[in-house]
Amino acid sequence: MRSERRRRAFSPVRLRSLGAESMTPTEVLGLFLWGLLASLALMSLVWVFSVPRRDASLVDRFWGLGFVWVALLWWWFAGRPASAWVMLVPVILWGLRLSAYITWRNWGHGEDARYTEMRAERSDAAFARRSLVTIFWLQASLLAVIALPMLASVRGGMPLWPLVWLGWAVWLSGFVYESVADWQLARFKADAGNRARLMDRGLWRFSRHPNYFGEIVVWLGFGLIGLAFGGWWALPGVALMIFLILRVSGVALLDRRLGETRAGYREYARRSNALIPGPVRR
């Protein structure tokens, strides 16, 4: 009896039997705050390892894993609802693939140029302190907000199944498209003869950022699954992710940097679509 009371006191929401009624808004808020704390804790730990390595880009390797960590924690604290598998399975597959790919891609290449430029503006000690807040804690906070569709899926109750299957179809198409784009780029870079060339083959022929296009489609799928559980309030998280890809850390940033540093990229940009696949312009 005492152990049961302690377990209930530890849990951010009252533990429920499988298939129980949906949570109240107060319980959902409490669960969100626990996810935010878990995300901050994970990224703080990554920061501890990044400081002696002088490699803030470790945060990118744990981006996908962070969603897996938070989604599983929400599911566990919500009483492990059986219906949440429809969100957990795609989140785990997507998160593990993304973190594994970024780790493999960056292995042995040192810190990403974005963080190296920030590091050059201040001492190592000052950068370490600043990076904890502006890189690691910022990404942890964004992660918790973007993951809201996953929170919606653990609220309990049965989802609207036609919307779930539509979400799965959208997610799967984006997951496959993004994976193929990453694989094609990896093969291209593995050939030493392509070092001075632009990748404009395969899916990269029809848009300059097919990997980001696939990522956006993935998150539209997550949004639909969250909506199937009544999580209309989770859609701003999907919108935030798409905004970051388009305007902050994805398409706009890469187009600007490659246009300045890679010969022939501006001509490539004139004849190709930035994101949505389409025919090559001549």
Write the pLDDT tens digit of every residue in 5-54: 444 434 554 434 333 457 888 999 999 999 999 999 999 999 999 999 99
Residue 128, classed as helix, strand or coil, is: helix
pTM of the model: 0.89
Report, in angstroms and rounded to the nearest whole number, the Rg of the chain calculated over CA atoms: 21
- Decide if pLDDT at 197 tops 50: yes
Asked if residues 226 and 148 have their Cβ atoms less than 8 Å apart, the reply is: yes
Q: Which residue has the tokens 């493999």?
A: 104
Q: From CA 63, how far away is CA 50, in angstroms rounded?
A: 14
Determine the 3-state secondary structure of 199 from DSSP: coil
| Domain-wise residue ranges, the chain | 1-83+123-153, 159-282
Top-confidence residue, 137 or 252: 137
d(CA 200, CA 260): 18
pLDDT in tens, 139-179: 999 999 999 999 999 987 789 999 999 999 999 999 999 99
Establish how many alpha carbons lie within 13 A of residue 103's alpha carbon, considering only the half-sphere containing its beta carbon. Answer: 11
DSSP, res 279: P
Question: How far is it, in rounded angstroms, from Cα 117 to Cα 278?
Answer: 34
32 contacts 23 by C-beta, under 8 angstroms:
no
The tokens describing 143, both together, are 């992660």
- Under 8 Å between Cβ of 179 and 93: no
